[in-house]
Amino acid sequence: MLRFRALTAAAALAGVVLTAAPAIGAPAPTTGADEPSIAAALSAPAGRAPAAPPALLRAYERDLGLSPQAAGARLAHEARATQVREALARTLHGSWAGAWLEGRDATLVVATTDASAARAVTAHGGRASLVRHTLAVLDGAKQALDRASDASSPGATPLWYVDVRANTVVVQSTDDARTETFLRQSGVDRALVRVERATAAPRPLADLRGGDAYYIDNAARCSIGFPVTQGGQPGFVSAGHCGQPGSNATDASGYSIGTFQGSTFPGNDYSWVAAGADWTAQPQVDDYAGGVVTVAGSAEQSVGGSVCRSGSTTGWHCGTVQELDATVNYAEGSVYGLTRTTVCAEPGDSGGSFISGNQAQGVTSGGSGDCSSGGETYFQPVNPILSVYGLTLATG
């Protein structure tokens, strides 16, 4: 999708259950661990954190099968584990090999190349894994692959990462011979790498959704009207004054969406942008309240009927249809066939979705006033846009 939301939360912290376990991995020399610091890290009191929001607990129940109570306990447990992990990383420094959570109860396992440090961790109630390579060594190997990737695209190796649990660098491959060539060219120590067969080729997962922001030639922002397709190619309709044919459209991170294929303004105020194959035309309009409205069609609303608008500046606002087929005379020229509404809007909302129930109505053109004092907004009906450019509205 185009707009990214980050949801962060932690539950009230509780003690981490760190069970002792036999050390595993290759033998490592004993260097004399800082046992008092290890003991302090494992026994430090948990801090306090706000309770997890209900939406996060519901997501844990849906996706991880945890009750709200169990999800809250796990979040607190993980927060405590993070605190312990960070303290041990500082303490073990040169022998630190990473850490991970294991099992349904999220037990923290600490990896180290120092046998005495591993014994100290287990002696003070923790769980340790004795391994051959430090995290710094593995990170260095991965960075060598990253540098080699910058020099020449590794087409047969879609993914690599440090696997702290296996104490190795994993390289996924679709062609073993080409991958081995890439590894040789990278100069990485082959003993640090495990090659695995790739099961899929990763690509960015991005949704086109009505009301979300997009940027034009890195100079202006508008809002998506409605996702569409043309001969199977995804894209979206928006306002004509947002961009000219050939203008580039990107998301908030600067990732390319595509280019304007058609645009008319004044006279009309509509455009369409053809997106790359890594975008999906979703039949959705962002309601700016954490949800979406699914678009089912494009039946025109009557005068006096209710209508809502979604846009990247002011979000979601509603009102009624005042007139159809209005001529609006902007400073740039006249635009014909617009629908006048009592809905407010502000700059940046241009191009965004007008929808009535689940029926697409049009794309935001212009207006007067704002969403603080009130105003009126005009939209370009969507059906003529679909007809002119031979587009199919994404519906669900």
Q: Are the C-beta atoms of residues 257 and 273 closer than 8 Å to each other?
A: yes
At which residue do the structure tokens 């979703």 appear? 282
Q: Are the C-beta atoms of residues 146 and 161 closer than 8 Å to each other?
A: no
Among candidate residues 223, 241, 263, 365, the one labeled active-site is: 241
* Pairing between β-strand 96-102 and β-strand 220-223 as defined by DSSP bridges: unpaired
HSE (CB half, 13 Å, CA atoms) of 117?
27
Cβ neighbours around 199 below 10 Å, total: 8
Among candidate residues 271, 350, 356, 365, the one labeled active-site is: 350
| Alpha-carbon span 243 to 313, nearest angstrom | 18
Cβ neighbours around 8 below 10 Å, total: 6
Beta-bridge mates of residue 207: 280
372 an active-site residue? no
First to last CA, the chain: 17
287 an active-site residue? no
Q: Are the C-beta atoms of residues 340 and 322 closer than 8 Å to each other?
A: yes
350 an active-site residue? yes
How far does Cα 112 stand from its chain's mean position?
33
Q: Please, which residues have CB within 8 angstroms of residue 143's CB and are 6 or more apart in sequence?
A: none
Q: Please, which residues have CB within 8 angstroms of residue 110's CB and are 6 or more apart in sequence?
A: 85, 88, 92, 99, 121, 126, 127, 128, 129
Q: Is 191 exposed, middle or buried (0-12, 13-18, 19+ CB in 10 A)?
A: exposed
Among candidate residues 114, 251, 269, 286, the one labeled active-site is: 269
6: enclosing H helix or E strand: none
Residue count of the chain, please give it.
396
For residue 94, give the DSSP letter.
G
3 state SS of 374: strand
Q: Are the C-beta atoms of residues 224 and 238 closer than 8 Å to each other?
A: yes
Catalytic residues, which ones?
241, 269, 350
